[in-house]
Amino acid sequence: MHHVVIVSGCDSSRQEQGAGMVSYDLVVVGAGPTGATVAEIAARTKGWRVLVIERRSHVAGNCYDELYPGTELLWHRYGPHYLRFTSTETMSYVGRFTEWIPGNYVVKSNVDGVLVPMPINLETIELLYGRAPLTEELARELIQSDVVPVEHPANSEEFILGRAGRKLYEKLYAKYTAKQWGRSAAELDPSVCGRVPIRFDRNPYYTDSPMQVMPRDGYTALFDRMLRSSPLIDVVTDVDWLQERVHGTAATVFTGPLDEYFGHRLGPLPWRSLSFETSVENRPWFQPCVQVNYPGDEPFTRKVEVKHVTRQVSTRTVVVTEFPADCGEPYYPVPAQESRKLFADYARLADAERKSRQVFFGGRLGTYRYINTDEAIENAMKLAADLA
């Protein structure tokens, strides 16, 4: 991977019209998981010259991790990423660029000072209903009187009420969701709260996937290796493609926010952001697991101590507290009725852009879909295969 300085091969009048071309087969906008995957595959399998343009000063997108300033401890600058795979093919593709360590993804929720497993499992129900030990049958019986059955849940509230009942919904989801999204669970698609499993066994891990892993040397190292894998790939950082609008001769892949590509022509899509408060604690551990959720009245949603996953050995530890926010970097699309029509309208524009000038949209921001990192990579693998 070379770092190139000159981005645009076009004259300024063409740039202004957004019609610039550079002598690269493919221009990739954004050096996150999607951009790195598309660039790597296009260079290796098609022999394309690829230019990756990143507006931040680093690669790896929101997966970016680094040593926390003044410490030897890794932290995730834009919030934690708990990598899990549902496809062995995707995992072995990414595994070409990293060794793995097990993903020790255990999350607890602090309910009025008591730490209960999240996702809900038998122990959660035991602790919150004050009855133990429970079997699956007893637990289902116990929550039955609180369950509000809905055949086709239309939103996240109905989804959880139908599966876990009102008591667990109120204790674990209602306020957390309102804080996280600035909207009630009743305003969000069922898939939002549906991301978190509900279990009647004792599995303590955050996701159901048997393939929960963390790249041994971190995410930045992983995506950097992908981008350095071929001399055909050039990367520029600190350059905002939206100011340049240069295109590859064969294709352009855009992984930034979908509405920004179109200059918010149809109005802004709703996005949700986060702000982070970080502290370095002079003790080996702060909390018993990587993430503790706060489903109550406090203004933050969770505290993350990623050392539980990286397994770094140190006498101190970094703790990150997350405060959801409306403004700031877009981290989450808002899967809800309110965004559906606007997104569909932008999706139509995106489709036309693909047909008329070979611009493809990828990743969580570019497709406005609340996908996980493995899904972003999997979609990028398909996208790269489709480029012609």
Footprint on this chain of ligand UDP (rule: CB under 6 A): 109, 118, 172-173, 176-177, 180, 192-193, 195-196, 293, 295
Give least dist CB 176 to ligand UDP, A: 4
Buried b (16+ CB within 10 A) or exposed e, 349-366: bbeebeeeebbbbbbbbb
How does DSSP classify residue 171? I
Give residue for tokens 């990414």: 94
Give least dist CB 99 to ligand UDP, A: 24
Whole-number Å distance between alpha carbons of 200 and 171: 18
Residue 79 CB neighbours (<10 A): 16
Give least dist CB 177 to ligand UDP, A: 4
| DSSP H/E element including 13 | helix 12-16
Choose between 56 and 302: whose C-beta lies nearer to ligand UDP. Answer: 302
Closest CA to 272 of 257, 282, 261: 257
Amino acid at 225: R
Give least dist CB 275 to ligand UDP, A: 14
Whole-number Å distance between alpha carbons of 346 and 259: 7
Give least dist CB 17 to ligand UDP, A: 39
Give least dist CB 81 to ligand UDP, A: 9
Choose between 192 and 387: whose C-beta lies nearer to ligand UDP. Answer: 192
Choose between 265 and 340: whose C-beta lies nearer to ligand UDP. Answer: 340
Choose between 105 and 241: whose C-beta lies nearer to ligand UDP. Answer: 105
Give least dist CB 171 to ligand UDP, A: 10
Is the alpha carbon torsion for 123, 127, 133, 134 positive or negative? negative
Whole-number Å distance between alpha carbons of 247 and 244: 9
Taking 3-state DSSP, the helix, strand and coil percentages for the chain, each rounded to the nearest 5, stand at 35, 20, 45
Task: Give me 148's structure tokens.
Answer: 């509000």
Give least dist CB 193 to ligand UDP, A: 4
Are 314 and 348 spatial neighbours (Cβ–Cβ below 8 Å)? no
**DSSP per-residue codes, 250-269:** SEEEE-S-HHHHTTTTT-PP
Choose between 95 and 296: whose C-beta lies nearer to ligand UDP. Answer: 296
Choose between 20 and 117: whose C-beta lies nearer to ligand UDP. Answer: 117
Choose between 32 and 248: whose C-beta lies nearer to ligand UDP. Answer: 32
Are 30 and 330 spatial neighbours (Cβ–Cβ below 8 Å)? no
Is the alpha carbon torsion for 266, 60, 191, 181 positive or negative? negative
Give residue for tokens 């971190």: 218
**DSSP per-residue codes, 271-337:** EEEEEEEEEEESSS-SSSSSEEE--SSSS--EEE-THHHH----S-EEEEEEEEESSSS--EE--SH
Choose between 96 and 195: whose C-beta lies nearer to ligand UDP. Answer: 195
Give least dist CB 167 to ligand UDP, A: 14
Give least dist CB 108 to ligand UDP, A: 9
